[in-house]
């Protein structure tokens, strides 16, 4: 069968690559094409377009680049029709993928969605639209199944794919030696994977370093950004940068400053106390505040429905508060113990690994039943 895949950022590319891997086992004749990145390409997907060329963060940034986004979407639509897949497999990336779902449905192409758009955070009524244009939805957050149930849409909770990635992880015992790190406590800095968010928050994250002379600060850089982008942050010689080794870093870390996103969940699953950081352009933040209706921004707090980890957002994300919150999780044993206990509850709520395999099985079975 032929699968057309669209994912718009790094974690989605990673997670769908695992699904592709399992689909190849189920369907030896499988062919994959679409929008993605290096992870999907490594599994044999032909990249029509790299997601980095269409991914913009923040409402204002998306608005400013709308002409480019629409131009790319037009090309992707044409490529989709030319390819004539048995299914369009969409991964998160709501702004782009919701439009692609409607387009595909209008042309008789079956639509599957893996990792639901976060409509429960900003526009719950869009669940009715999703029900119309998506044939199967595979959700990865426990509360999403009940959310969609309110709109009479029976979706599949498959577990969380982050669990799959962590189960496969094998720590490098020589990690510290490899990067010239000594036995002092490591504070992990996870600034995100997009240049725009890195630029917005990394300076503030690193402003706390003078208050922790007994620690080592290590930035988790991502390999889909040019290495030279991080060179500026090497200048004082107090910062170590590791590229594409986030899990090894978290395995060794005593605490972490983490940009809001999937990394907050990964940090919790490695049982590293964290402070969650978020900052956007003033315009994007103002728009977001106007439309988003959830109490928390981190996946940890959303899943647990409580403030298990401290969130420093926009004005609260400043050098003083960041330092104070980092000191709290480094030095207050009670605070650390409470956070680690909440992490255990989180792990229980997420359930067992196997999201990627289960999703692939459900996709394949659905297509067989549809006569593909």
Walk me through the domains of the chain, giving residue ranges and CATH numbers. Answer: 2-159+354-369 (3.40.50.2000), 168-350 (3.40.50.2000)
pTM of the model: 0.84
DSSP line for 134-176: -SEEEE-STTHHHHHHTTT---EE---HHHHHHHH----TTHH
> Could you report the per-residue pLDDT of 192-230, keeping only the tens digit for each?
877 666 777 888 999 999 999 999 999 999 876 767 777
Asked if residue 286 has pLDDT above 80, the reply is: no
Written as six digits, the tokens of 16 are: 């769908």
pLDDT at 54 over 80: no
Average pLDDT over residues 72-95: 95
High-pLDDT (> 70) share of the chain, %: 90
- Determine what percent of the chain falls in helix, strand and coil, rounding each to the nearest 5: 50, 15, 30
- Category of 243 on φ-ψ map: left (φ > 0), alpha (ψ -120 to 50) or beta: beta
**Would you say residue 371 has pLDDT above 90?**
no
- pLDDT the model gives residue 230: 77
pLDDT digits (tens, 9 = 90+) for 175-200: 999 999 999 999 999 998 776 667 77
Average pLDDT, the chain: 90
What pLDDT band is residue 170 in, cutting at 50, 70 and 90?
very high
> If phi over 0 gives left and psi between -120 and 50 gives alpha, with beta otherwise, what is residue 180?
left
In this prediction, residue 256 has a pLDDT band, given cuts at 50, 70 and 90, of: very high
pLDDT above 90: percentage of residues in the chain: 72
**pLDDT band for position 58 (50/70/90)?**
low
pLDDT, mean of residues 33-41: 96
Residue 44, pLDDT score? 96
- State the Cα–Cα distance between residues 183 and 357, nearest whole angstrom: 39
Rounded to an integer, the average pLDDT of 142-161 is: 95
User: In whole angstroms, what separates CA 164 from the centre of its chain?
Assistant: 14
């Amino acid at each position: 069968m032929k699968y057309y895949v669209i994912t718009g950022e790094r974690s989605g590319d990673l997670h769908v690559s695992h699904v592709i891997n399992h689909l190849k086992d189920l369907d030896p004749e499988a062919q994959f094409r679409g929008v993605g990145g290096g992870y999907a390409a490594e599994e044999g997907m032909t990249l029509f377009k790299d997601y980095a060329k269409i991914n913009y963060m923040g409402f204002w940034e998306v608005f400013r680049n709308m002409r480019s986004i629409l131009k790319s979407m037009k090309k992707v639509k044409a490529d989709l029709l030319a390819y004539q897949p048995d299914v369009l497999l969409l991964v998160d990336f709501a702004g782009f993928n919701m439009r692609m779902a409607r387009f595909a449905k209008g042309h008789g192409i079956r639509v599957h969605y893996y990792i639901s758009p976060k409509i429960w955070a900003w526009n719950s009524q869009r669940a009715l639209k999703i029900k119309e244009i998506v044939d199967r939805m595979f959700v990865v957050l426990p509360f999403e199944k009940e959310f969609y149930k309110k709109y009479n849409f029976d979706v599949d909770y498959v577990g969380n794919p982050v669990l799959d990635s962590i189960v496969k992880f094998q720590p490098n015992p020589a990690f510290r030696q490899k990067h010239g790190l000594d036995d002092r406590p490591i504070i992990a800095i996870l600034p995100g994977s997009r240049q725009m968010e890195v630029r917005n928050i990394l300076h503030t994250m690193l402003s706390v370093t003078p208050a922790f002379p007994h620690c080592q600060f290590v930035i988790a850089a991502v390999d889909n950004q040019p290495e030279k982008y991080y060179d500026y942050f090497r200048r004082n010689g107090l910062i170590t940068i590791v590229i594409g080794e986030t899990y090894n870093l978290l395995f060794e870390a005593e605490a972490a400053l983490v940009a809001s996103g999937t990394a907050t969940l990964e940090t919790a699953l490695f049982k590293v106390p964290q402070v969650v950081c978020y900052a956007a352009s003033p315009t994007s933040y103002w728009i977001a505040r106007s439309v988003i209706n959830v109490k928390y921004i981190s996946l940890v707090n959303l899943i647990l429905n409580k403030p298990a980890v401290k969130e420093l957002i926009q004005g609260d994300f400043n050098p003083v508060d960041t330092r104070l919150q980092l000191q709290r999780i480094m030095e207050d044993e009670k605070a650390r113990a409470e956070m680690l206990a909440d992490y255990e509850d989180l792990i229980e709520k997420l359930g067992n690994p196997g999201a990627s395999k289960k999703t692939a099985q459900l996709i394949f079975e659905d297509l067989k039943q549809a006569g593909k």
